[in-house]
Structure 1
């Protein structure tokens, strides 16, 4: 049994749940199978905060449960098609994070009014608008992967978000940062006035200083410690 990778998916799921990104039993995080067989993802029917290693299974690109038990999520193509399109991606997170959903539905671009937004912009976070329904077919998964392109995240307008990273640890941190950035922007706009934000060159400089690989790893370690 792939205990380590199941534990990783379990940790990511519970971190996301603890960050209020859970939506009852919906939302999921996955890690790319090291042998190229598909995505390790939680079984359907469990909330993010309930995920234990034995509730994580391996789903292949055709939707078959290759290893482990439980019903698979309908939206497995989010994960399998991004892995197929992006060899650099080792982790994928899909949640219905509330402020990010609201920001995208309002038609607002994410702008760097806070440190968190600098992790993503520039360039603009892409918006998937082909459907607000579930991504339950290979064709929709392919279309989503095309919209994501080389970005770190994508808004599924009127649905949720997808965040990716070279591993699941960084994808998890990205999902939390995206929700935090959206919340901070919505709070800023609520004050009225003329919002200020970083220029592109400053955003890129801040990204390199604040969100380098070591820092992201340290944030992951911090989030794991908070579970305990």
Structure 2
């Protein structure tokens, strides 16, 4: 399999993982991967659109940062996402980012609307997620369709240098140095949001992990946090 073909399949698998995990179980959401300075692969909408759960490599198209076909014969009957600027503005301004995920996790939206910030309320239950939350998960406070560079610039400004930003009344944008990392960040944020909602619904009070416990959490490395976790997600796909 060529490098580009493998990358298309990776983006397609990422879309299916998001759907299987309930972060994008309809037909909204997309994943992108930078392949050159001005080219990205992105999940597009095809002529027989069925939703992210049934994404194939054929749905992943090569485009420029301006949304034009990235190669002769590319796009065809496929159309780029309306929110392509959400991806491209991140890639333009964040050289540390290789992949962008946009999804609509109901628990994340509900927790944010309920005034619950993503917080490090657990410990070894989800160590990467706890560390991500401890460093802060910002919120873009506008419930808009991020359809142009102006709105995308606002979102990127709200994100700052963090890997994930919540979009109020909308969903989240997650980034990573790889597709796998971007998806796993999104899964951690969704997991924490679900737990917070469950605790509050049970009448409990959210309490952050003590600093001394946070300092004790080891970094098990990308081989475990990313590679093993990703194999697990793929194995769970229907």
Q: TM-score, normalised by structure 2?
A: 0.87
Query: Alignment RMSD, CA only?
Result: 1.8
Partner of residue 93, structure 2: 85
Q: Superposed, which structure 2 residues align to 1:1-228 within 5 Å?
A: 2-33=4-35, 35-44=36-45, 45-67=49-71, 68-69=74-75, 70-114=78-122, 115-116=125-126, 117-129=129-141, 131-203=142-214, 205-206=216-217, 208-209=218-219, 212-214=221-223, 215-227=225-237
Residue aligned with 1:5, SS? helix
| Structure 1: runs of 5 or more not aligned | none
Runs of 4+ in 1 over 4 A off after TM superposition: none
Q: 1:46 to 1:78 in 2, by over 3 A?
A: farther
Quote the offset at 1:38 in angstroms.
2.9
Whether the 8 Å CA contact 2:18–2:25 is kept in 1: the answer is no
Q: 1:218 to 1:134 in 2, by over 3 A?
A: same
Deviating more after overlay: 217-226 vs 115-124? 115-124
Whether the 8 Å CA contact 2:63–2:70 is kept in 1: the answer is yes
Give CA-to-partner distance per residue, 1:153-188, whole Å, 9 cap, x none: 110011101111111111111111111110011101
Give CA-to-partner distance per residue, 1:74-130, whole Å, 9 cap, x none: 10111111111111111111100010011111222112222444042222210101x
Q: Distance in 2 between matches of 1:9 and 1:84?
A: 19
Residue aligned with 2:100, SS? strand
Q: TM-score, normalised by structure 1?
A: 0.91
Give CA-to-partner distance per residue, 1:200-222, whole Å, 9 cap, x none: 4533542x435x32222210111
Q: Distance in 1 between matches of 2:41 and 2:216?
A: 34
